[in-house]
């Protein structure tokens, strides 16, 4: 199962044995379908309030502490009551309870027309003392204490919210005094001060952890979502207003997380819209709602990504229509994801952080979507990453299983599933070492199965994003999280329609945390979001220009600055330990890669400076160096895992034997790394091309090797060519290989390595090249020589004598194309020509 559920609380496991031990459960029906024992509320500090009927049908209220695993009896009514809601203050000195006194039929039969059907009480329970009536009305009410910050010292009072079915919310301010023996009593003997918080609401949700009240009021044909933030200083402010194109049934008030009553929730759920609001720590704000559908075998639900300025409406075709009566989707808040779950049908994990591309949301059906512990839809999310099954009274901590994600990745047949699982593994689990290794192994086996994306590119970019973004606020908006610019694929059985919505209006002052992050997200949507993420299009163009002009601009201040950047990156790299040395990458000079490193540093720095000026230049310099160094280390990490998996060692740089099947697999994989890096214009670690070429020499036939070199797949490096010329003996086969390599060397590199092959073939090649350069100088008019009518040397070898005469006169005019090789001159050309001619004639040269 993809979702991992850990039971944190279970009425039958954690409460029933405690009740039985005290003799309070003799008349209690302990079956799962019993309505005599049920959860009433979950408070901010993780304490679960429940109620049960005692031996004499008395109504008891108890509390279970998730941290201490202890039960506590709070209060008992000597009547058989149906508790609607209940809340205890943070100090557990006051208890607020609302209950149903009599049904309409009971009132008629008992002639109690003047008695209210519903009652809300405030009870002093430390010790049990006075009882005050908060409300005595014919409409249902709910109660909820506000909770201050954890570090608050001995408070002098508490604040209580009272929600009425008549569509208003009040706040009561309750001041207490502490008497002898730590007795806590309410200070004011008169009516408790109260203030109206909200009016005319048709839906409300309480966020216990963050002390926020979300509610909806109707306005013409639309609905307005509002939010009130309650602060520890006993003030509250309206902080958000957003227009929603949702038609909410206003005949009955729908409440979310204001207490839990299975029977009543079932009745309300059948008459009102299933709608919930979820927030994330990164400033995400989502409204999830179930929509009505006229098609029996279809489910429709909509997610408003308010922090991104659009909504997505999903229509899912059900696989098995025999369960078409299950129409209500259960929503769960997993912080990074929102889960939409319909038991027996599907599980849809919607990415809150990156909802733009549908391929980053996991959609599962069949066995993959099965959650054994949740077989009905009446579940709530009282706390983040927590679900409460109101039917059976169990509360679970919910998380995504890393092993299940890996299994799903390995078994997936569609690119959309692979992308979603890969994204989840890399970003949700925050680069866990073992999971990262398993992902690399999966990539090495599935390079050819992914058609709409490059898994190596995705791994590198997503892993870099995950490593860097926690460092600095708003950095996640500037660095790319994916290698894809768009995704045109489909998810079978699911259609999605995206609509632009109005940006929410925020009003807050000096508020850190969620509101500040949400405001930052909204500012990006308003102004510059398409231009924020760093792109490599300018980098590639500049790199190619500098590569072509390197001789002319190599000494300029600009280039010196670029190479200074590269040196800082290389100095910033982590020291490779002995295990990592399994991959024989060399710290060598690589002009092209160092140029690319330095350019990436310069351009990324400019990009961040435009948007993160407040961070400071020194911090940005550090971020950029970390980013490029992490990039190189990531490529090395990939190589290390592939190397380890194929059990290779450093003998691949011995050219006297052919490569194994494992070496060929690694060579192929390195080619895909090179392709991925080229596609994104990313630098590679020093020595990558040397290692790749060394594997190519060992694994490829000569014609294929040369084809790879000619097409730029393999790059000739000084380290590898020098070792090749020195280590291989001069058999006919090796001569052919060496000569083919020497023929393809760039001029600057050839001048460095020719001396390492002392062979007539190499000397012949050098001589030819020397002659060609001299004659080109002659042809370009840089030197002039009258052709003599008669030769001044003996005619022993007329063509050679004539050539050497011409070359000698050019040399005498100061033309020396091979200034770095003093041994190459006309004399060298003459000796080489004679030696080569004699060798071709099969004669002995002396």
With the CA atoms of 296, 298, 303 and 308 taken in that order, what torsion angle do they form, in degrees rounded to the nearest 10? -140
What pLDDT is stored for residue 328 in this prediction?
A: 82
What is the β-pairing status of strands 285-291 and 275-279?
Answer: antiparallel
The pLDDT confidence band at residue 717, using thresholds 50, 70 and 90, is confident
Please state the separation of Cα 556 from the chain's center in Å.
41
Within this chain, do residues 710 and 769 fall inside the same structural domain, yes or no? no
* Judgement on whether residues 665 and 789 belong to the same structural domain of the protein: no
Q: Is the pLDDT of residue 456 over 50?
A: yes
pLDDT attached to residue 297? 84
3-state secondary structure of 405: helix
Only one residue has tokens 């639900």, namely 301
More confident residue, 508 or 15: 15
More confident residue, 601 or 46: 601
> Which of 21-25, 79-83, 296-300, 786-790 shows the lowest mean pLDDT across its residues?
786-790
* pLDDT greater than 60 at residue 147: yes
Q: Is residue 757 part of a domain?
A: no
Q: Looking at the structure, do residues 669 and 790 belong to the same domain, yes or no?
A: no
What is the share, in percent, of the chain residues with pLDDT greater than 90?
Answer: 41
Domain boundary among 654, 687, 715: 715
Q: Which of 694, 715, 736 is the last residue of a domain?
A: 715
Is residue 774 within 8 Å of 815, Cβ to Cβ? yes
Q: How many CA atoms lie within 13 A of 713 on its CB side?
A: 17
Tell me whether residue 442 is in a domain.
no
What would you measure as the largest C-alpha separation in the chain, in angstroms?
145
| Predicted TM-score (pTM) of this structure | 0.84
Q: Is residue 822 part of a domain?
A: yes
Q: Are 602 and 695 in contact (CB under 8 A)?
A: no
Q: Which of 175-189, 414-428, 487-501, 781-795 shows the lowest mean pLDDT across its residues?
A: 781-795
Residue 625 in any domain: the answer is yes
Q: Which residues pair with 123 in a beta bridge?
A: 95, 131
Q: Give the per-residue pLDDT at 13.
A: 94
800 in any annotated domain: yes
User: pLDDT per residue over 369-406, tens digit each?
Assistant: 888 888 766 788 888 889 998 888 899 999 999 999 99
What pLDDT is attached to residue 179? 75
Q: Where are the alpha helices (DSSP H) in 745-818?
A: 747-753, 760-779, 798-812
Say whether both 680 and 779 belong to one domain. Answer: no
Residue 337: which residues within 8 A CB-CB, separation 6 or more?
Answer: 349, 350, 351, 352, 361, 362, 400, 428
**Omega cis (within 30) before 63:** no
Q: Are residues 775 and 706 in the same domain?
A: no
Is 192 among the domain residues?
no
Residues in contact with 515: Cβ distance below 8 Å, sequence separation at least 6, in sequence order: 229, 239, 506, 508
DSSP 201: -
Tokens for 565, please give them.
């950047």
Q: Nearest Cα to 480, choosing from 357, 346, 595?
A: 357
Structure tokens at 824: 């190459």
**Terminal-residue alpha carbon distance, the chain:** 82
198-230 pLDDT tens trace = 999 999 999 999 999 999 998 877 899 999 999
Whether 580 and 665 share a structural domain:
yes
Same domain? 703 vs 817: no
Asked whether the predicted pLDDT for residue 559 surpasses 90, the reply is no
Task: Please provide residue 749's backbone torsions phi and psi, each rounded to the nearest 5 degrees.
Answer: -70, -40
Domain span at residue 672 reads: 537-715
708 with 781, same domain: the answer is no
- Assigned domain for 647 exists: yes
Mapped onto helix, strand or coil, the DSSP state of residue 350 is strand
Most confidently modeled range among 425-434, 574-583, 832-841 = 425-434
Size (the chain), residues: 846
Q: Which residue has the higher pLDDT, 178 or 715?
A: 715
Residue 394 in contact with residue 8, Cβ under 8 Å? no
Distance CA 108, CA 110 (A): 5
Distance CA 134, CA 159 (A): 13
Is it the case that residue 110 has pLDDT exceeding 80?
A: no
**Total domains present in the chain:** 2
700 and 619, same structural domain? yes
Query: Are residues 807 and 672 both part of a single domain?
Result: no
Would 38 be classed as within a structural domain?
Answer: no
Mean pLDDT across the chain, nearest whole number?
A: 82
- Based on the fold, state whether residues 811 and 693 are members of the same structural domain: no
The pLDDT value given to residue 169: 96
Q: What is the mean pLDDT of residues 550-574?
A: 77
**343, 354, 363, 510: which is closest to 427 by C-alpha?**
354
Looking at 232-236, 332-336, 412-416, 757-761, which range is the least confident one?
Answer: 757-761
Percentages helix, strand, coil for the chain (3-state, rounded to 5) are: 40, 25, 35
Looking at residue 167, its pLDDT comes to: 93
Q: Which residue has the higher pLDDT, 458 or 839?
A: 458
Identify whether residues 697 and 793 lie together within a single domain. Answer: no
């Amino acid at each position: 199962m993809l979702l991992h559920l850990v039971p944190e609380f279970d009425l039958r496991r954690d409460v029933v044995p405690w009740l039985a031990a005290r003799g309070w459960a003799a008349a209690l029906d302990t079956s799962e379908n019993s309505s005599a024992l049920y959860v009433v509320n979950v408070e901010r500090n993780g304490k679960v309030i429940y109620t049960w009927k005692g031996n004499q049908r008395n109504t008891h209220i108890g509390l279970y502490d998730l941290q201490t695993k202890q039960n506590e009896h709070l209060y008992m009514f000597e009547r058989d009551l149906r508790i609607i809601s209940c809340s205890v203050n943070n100090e557990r000195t006051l208890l607020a309870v609302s209950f149903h006194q009599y049904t309409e039929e009971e009132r008629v039969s008992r002639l109690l027309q003047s008695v209210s059907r519903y009652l809300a009480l405030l009870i002093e329970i430390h010790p049990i003392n006075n009882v005050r009536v908060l409300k005595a009305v014919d409409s249902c009410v709910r109660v909820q204490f506000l909770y201050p910050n954890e570090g608050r010292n001995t408070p002098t009072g508490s604040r209580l919210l009272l929600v009425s079915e008549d569509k208003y919310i009040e706040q009561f301010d309750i001041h207490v005094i502490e008497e002898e023996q730590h007795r806590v009593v309410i200070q004011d003997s008169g009516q408790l001060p109260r203030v109206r918080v909200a009016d005319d609401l048709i839906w409300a949700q309480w966020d216990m952890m963050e002390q926020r009240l979300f509610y909806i009021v109707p306005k013409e044909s639309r609905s307005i979502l509002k939010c009130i933030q309650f602060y520890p200083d006993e003030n509250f402010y309206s902080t958000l207003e957003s227009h929603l194109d949702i038609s909410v049934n206003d005949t009955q008030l729908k409440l979310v997380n204001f207490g839990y009553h299975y029977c009543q929730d079932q009745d309300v759920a059948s008459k009102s819209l299933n709608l919930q609001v979820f927030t994330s720590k990164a400033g995400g704000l989502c409204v999830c709602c179930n929509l009505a559908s006229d098609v029996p075998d279809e489910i429709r639900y909509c997610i408003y990504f308010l922090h991104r300025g659009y909504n997505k409406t999903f229509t899912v075709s059900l696989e098995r229509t025999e369960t078409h009566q299950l129409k209500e989707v259960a929503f769960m808040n997993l912080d990074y994801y929102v889960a939409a779950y319909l038991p027996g049908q599907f599980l849809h994990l919607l990415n809150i952080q990156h909802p733009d591309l549908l391929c980053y949301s996991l959609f599962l059906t069949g066995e993959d979507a099965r959650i054994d512990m949740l077989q009905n839809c009446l579940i709530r999310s009282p706390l983040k990453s927590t679900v409460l099954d109101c039917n059976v009274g169990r509360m679970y901590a919910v998380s995504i299983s890393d092993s299940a994600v890996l299994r799903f990745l390995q078994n997936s047949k569609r690119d959309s599933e692979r992308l979603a699982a890969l994204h989840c593994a890399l970003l949700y689990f925050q680069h866990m070492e073992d999971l990262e290794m398993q992902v690399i192994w999966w990539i090495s086996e599935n390079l050819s199965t992914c058609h709409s994306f490059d898994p190596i590119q995705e791994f590198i970019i997503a892993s870099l994003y995950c490593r860097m973004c926690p460092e600095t606020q708003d950095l996640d908006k500037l660095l790319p999280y994916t290698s894809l610019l768009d995704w045109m694929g489909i998810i079978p059985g699911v259609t999605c329609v995206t609509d632009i919505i109005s940006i929410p209006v925020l009003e807050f002052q000096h508020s850190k945390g969620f509101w500040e992050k949400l405001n930052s997200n909204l500012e990006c949507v308003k102004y510059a979001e398409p231009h924020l993420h760093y792109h490599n299009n300018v980098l590639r163009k500049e790199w190619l220009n500098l590569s072509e002009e390197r001789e002319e601009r190599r000494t300029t201040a600009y280039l010196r600055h670029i190479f200074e950047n590269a040196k800082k990156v290389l100095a910033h790299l982590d020291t490779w330990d002995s295990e990592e040395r399994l991959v024989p990458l060399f710290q060598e000079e690589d002009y092209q890669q160092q140029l690319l490193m330095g350019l990436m540093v310069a351009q990324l720095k400019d990009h961040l400076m435009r948007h993160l000026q407040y961070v400071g230049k020194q911090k940005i310099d550090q971020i950029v160096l970390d980013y490029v160094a992490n990039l190189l280390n990531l490529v090395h990490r990939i190589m290390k895992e592939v190397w380890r998996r194929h059990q290779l060692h450093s003998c691949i740089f011995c050219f006297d034997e052919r490569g194994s099947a494992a070496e060929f697999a690694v060579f192929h994989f390195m080619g895909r790394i090179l392709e991925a890096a080229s596609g994104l214009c990313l630098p590679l670690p020093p020595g990558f091309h040397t290692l790749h070429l060394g594997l190519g020499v060992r694994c490829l036939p000569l014609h294929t090797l040369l084809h790879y070199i000619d097409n730029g797949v393999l790059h000739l490096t000084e380290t590898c060519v020098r070792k090749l010329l020195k280590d291989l003996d001069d058999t006919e086969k090796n001569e052919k290989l060496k000569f083919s390599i020497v023929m393809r060397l760039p001029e600057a590199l050839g001048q460095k390595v020719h001396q390492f092959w002392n062979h007539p073939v190499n000397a012949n090649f050098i001589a030819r090249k020397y002659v060609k350069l001299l004659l080109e100088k002659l042809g370009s008019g840089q030197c002039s020589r009258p052709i003599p009518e008669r030769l001044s040397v003996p005619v022993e070898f007329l063509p050679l004598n004539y050539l050497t005469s011409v070359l000698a006169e050019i040399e005498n005019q100061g033309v020396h194309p091979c200034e770095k090789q003093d041994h190459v001159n006309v004399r060298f050309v003459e000796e080489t020509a004679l030696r080569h001619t004699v060798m071709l004639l099969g004669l002995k040269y002396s």
